[in-house]
A and B are shown apart, each in its own frame.
Chain A
Amino acid sequence: MRGRRHFLTSLFATTIVPKVGWAAVGSPAYLSAGRDRTGVFFLSGLTENAEITFSVPLPARGHAAAAHPFLAEAVGFARRPGLFAVVIDCSTGAVLATLAPPEGRHFYGHGAYSQDGQFLFTTENDFDASRGIIGVWDATRNYRRVAELSSGGIGPHEMRLMPGGETLVVANGGIATHPKTGRQKLNLPTMQPNLTYLSLTGDILETVELPSDYQLNSIRHLAVSQDGTVAFGMQWQGDRGAAPELLGVHRAEGNVRLFQGDEINHQRMQGYVGSVSFDHTQQRIGVTSPRGGLVQAFDLENGGDLGVFDDADVCGLSANQQGFIATNGNGQITRLTDLRPLERIQHAVQWDNHLVQLTDAHAMPKTRSF
Chain B
Amino acid sequence: MRHFLTPFLMSLTVGTAYAGPVENAAILDEIIRPGFAQLTNQTTALATVASHTCAPQSKELRDAYGTAFDAWIELSHFRFGPTEAENRAFALSFWPDPRNAIPRTLNALITAQDPSVQSPDEFSENSIAARGFYALEFLLYDDAFLAIEDRGYVCSLIQAITADMAVISGEISQDWDNRYAVLMLNPSNATYPDEDSVTRELYKALGVGLELLTEARLARPLGTFERPRPARAEARRSERSVRHIEISLTALRALAAQLSAPDAELSQRSADAFDRAIDLAQRVDDPDFSEIRDPAQRIKVEALQQAVQRIRTEIYPDLGALLDVSAGFNALDGD
Contacts and interface: CB of A to CB of B under 8 A. Distances in A.
Contacts of B183: 241
B36 to A, nearest CB: 16
A219 to B, nearest CB: 13
A261 interface: no
Interface in A180-198: 180-184, 186, 188-189
Contacts of A181: 96, 98, 215-216, 220
Nearest to B87: A189
Interface stretch (A10-18, A203-211, A312-320): A312-320
Contact of B84 (A220, A238, A268, A274): A238
A312 B183 CA distance: 23
B313 to A, nearest CB: 12
A109 interface: yes
Nearest to A127: B98
B128 A315 contact: no
Contacts, number: 89
Contacts of B296: none
Contact of A312 (B127, B327, B334): B327
B330 A353 contact: yes
A282 to B, nearest CB: 26
Interface in B83-120: 84-87, 90, 96, 98-99
A189 B80 contact: no
A86 to B, nearest CB: 18
A328 B330 contact: yes
A239 B84 contact: yes
Contacts of A329: 327-331
Contact of B329 (A157, A189, A238, A352): A352
Contacts of A145: none
A274 B90 contact: no
A314 B96 CA distance: 33
B329 A184 contact: no
Contact of A109 (B98, B232, B329, B335): B335
Contacts of A183: 334
Given A182-B216, A313-B328, A329-B328, A188 B87 contact: yes
Contact of A241 (B96, B99, B190): B190
A335 interface: no
Interface in A225-270: 238-242, 263-264, 266-268
Contacts of B329: 35, 313, 329-330, 350, 352
Contacts of A242: 85
Best-surrounded residue of A79, A157, A180, A274 (most CB of chain B within 10 A): A180
Given A240-B80, A353-B335, A184 B96 contact: yes
Contact of B330 (A80, A180, A184, A274): A274
Contacts of B84: 238-240
B191 interface: yes
Given A178-B98, A182-B216, A313-B327, A241 B191 contact: yes
B193 interface: yes
Which secondary structure dominates chain B's binding surface?
Answer: loop
Interface residues of A, number: 41
A350 B215 CA distance: 25
A63 B331 contact: no
A193 to B, nearest CB: 14
Given A239-B84, A313-B331, A180 B98 contact: yes
A293 interface: yes
Given A180-B220, A181-B216, A330 B98 contact: no
Interface string A265-294: 011100010100000000000000011010
Best-surrounded residue of A238, A242, A290, A315 (most CB of chain B within 10 A): A290
A291 B331 contact: yes
A264 B193 contact: yes
Best-surrounded residue of B86, B183, B331 (most CB of chain A within 10 A): B331
A315 B219 CA distance: 30
B333 A263 contact: no
Interface string A322-335: 00000011100000
Contacts of A350: 329
Interface string B193-221: 10000000000000000010001100110
B317 interface: no
Best-surrounded residue of B80, B86, B220, B330 (most CB of chain A within 10 A): B330
B81 interface: yes
A264 B81 contact: no
Contacts of B215: 181-182, 184
A68 to B, nearest CB: 24
Interface of A: 35, 63, 79-80, 109, 157, 178, 180-184, 186, 188-189, 220, 238-242, 263-264, 266-268, 272, 274, 290-291, 293, 312-315, 328-330, 350, 352-353
Given A182-B219, A314-B330, A353-B335, 14 more contacts: A80-B335, A157-B335, A183-B334, A186-B99, A188-B90, A189-B87, A240-B191, A241-B183, A266-B190, A274-B330, A312-B327, A329-B330, A330-B329, A352-B333
Interface of B: 80-81, 84-87, 90, 96, 98-99, 127-128, 183, 190-191, 193, 211, 215-216, 219-220, 232, 327-331, 333-335
25 contacts: A79-B335, A180-B220, A181-B216, A181-B220, A182-B216, A182-B219, A186-B99, A189-B90, A189-B128, A238-B85, A239-B85, A239-B86, A240-B191, A264-B190, A266-B190, A267-B191, A272-B334, A291-B331, A293-B327, A313-B328, A313-B330, A329-B330, A329-B331, A330-B327, A352-B330
